[in-house]
Amino acid sequence: MMKSNQKFGISLMAITMLIFAIQDGISQYLAREYNVFFIVMVRYWFFAIFVIFLCSRQPGGLSNVVSTKQPFLQIFRGVLLAFEVIVMITSFTLLGLIESHAVFSIYPLLVAALSGPVLKEYVGWKRWSAIFIGFIGVLIILKPSSNVFSLEAIIPLISALMFAVYSILTRYAARQDTAMTSFFWTGIIGAIVMSVVGSSFWVTLKPNDWAWLSLLCILACLAHYLLIKCYEVSEASSLQPFAYLQLLFATMIGLWVFSEKLAANIVIGALLVVLAGLFAFWRERQKS
């Protein structure tokens, strides 16, 4: 039974990563035409409605899910993720999907690096070596001889660092709060923050772009719902390597839809980052 559940979980994970990649492609298109704060704000409104609906169906109802023993941590997580989304979508508009995702794929290695000082987890020399190799891969992607110090080049790296911190804080919050409690606070705080930030940037969309924005909101909710289902039917440790499929799907969308170029340095650097990330994951699983 576990084997069949694991296969189903992996299949769901692949579909989820594809939906996330399509969502990123729509975000890139809309953010190139309209203000990114407005796009993220509307997306968070829909997401907040979805979160409330999903959490209200949990045992004990919404009041049980809302209860948290660490409200300041949960608020900070929600704010951090909202701004990380803004930074990443901004990177899409400046660098495209391929290069942005190639650099962003360093985030699991950043999580491994931060888990030592923040969560007091042991990180051996083999995983530190993988982290170092991953950063070499990022440098290859960013071409240090020309634009490593440019703002555009470091934006996806900043996004990866923000998401790594968010992931670490999520693991820390899980010591006292349930996953659904963290999920609720993430959606609601993000919607509140983006309403404050994005309300000043309201724009009028073309009718067909309202359709794209609606599809973006639907896909965002669907992807998160499927991600929850993935971890319900299979162990997280068996699914984590397949998260790298988002890089593959985003690359395909970047090539076929946005006519982006797949430069040799991006391929080599991304391979180093992904292989280093998979090795670090394998070592962590061996230890546990």
pLDDT in tens, 92-123: 999 999 999 999 999 999 988 888 777 777 77
Taking CA 213 as the corner, what is the angle to CA 43 and CA 260, rounded to the nearest 5 degrees? 105
pLDDT the model gives residue 152: 81
Phi-psi region of 94 (alpha: psi -120 to 50; beta: other; left: phi over 0): alpha
What is the pLDDT averaged over residues 258-271?
92
130 pLDDT tier (thresholds 50, 70, 90):
confident
pTM, full prediction:
0.90
SS (H, E, C) 190-229: HHHHHHHHHHHHCCCCCHHHHHHHHHHHHHHHHHHHHHHH
Residue type, 216: L
* Predicted confidence (pLDDT) at residue 146 exceeds the cutoff of 70: no
Residue keyed to tokens 């909101």: 217
pLDDT tens for residues 24-33? 999 999 999 9
Cα–Cα distances in Å, from 182 out to 6, 83, 94, 235?
A: 25, 17, 31, 19
pLDDT tens for residues 205-244? 999 999 999 999 999 999 999 988 888 887 776 788 888 9
Extended beta strands in the chain, E state:
none
The two tokens of residue 136 are: 């070499």
The two tokens of residue 251 are: 């690359």
pLDDT the model gives residue 126: 82
Residue type, 201: F
Cα–Cα distances in Å, from 16 out to 10, 160, 204, 228?
A: 10, 19, 30, 10
* Predicted confidence (pLDDT) at residue 1 exceeds the cutoff of 50: no
pLDDT the model gives residue 59: 87
pLDDT the model gives residue 144: 63
pLDDT the model gives residue 288: 61
The two tokens of residue 272 are: 């180093």
pLDDT the model gives residue 2: 41
User: For residues 138 and 142, which has the higher predicted lDDT (pLDDT)?
Assistant: 138
How far apart are alpha carbons 250 and 270 in whole angstroms?
A: 13
What is the pLDDT averaged over residues 75-100?
96
Q: How many domains does the chain have?
A: 1
The average confidence (pLDDT) of the chain is 89
What is the pLDDT averaged over residues 34-59?
95
pLDDT the model gives residue 229: 87
pLDDT the model gives residue 4: 47
pLDDT the model gives residue 147: 46
Task: Number of helices (H) and strands (E) in the chain: give both, helices first.
Answer: 13, 0
Q: Could you list the residue range(s) of the whole structural domain that residue 268 is in?
A: 2-287
Residue 166's nearest CA partner among 221, 122, 244, 110 is: 110
* Predicted confidence (pLDDT) at residue 6 exceeds the cutoff of 80: no
SS3 state of residue 256: helix
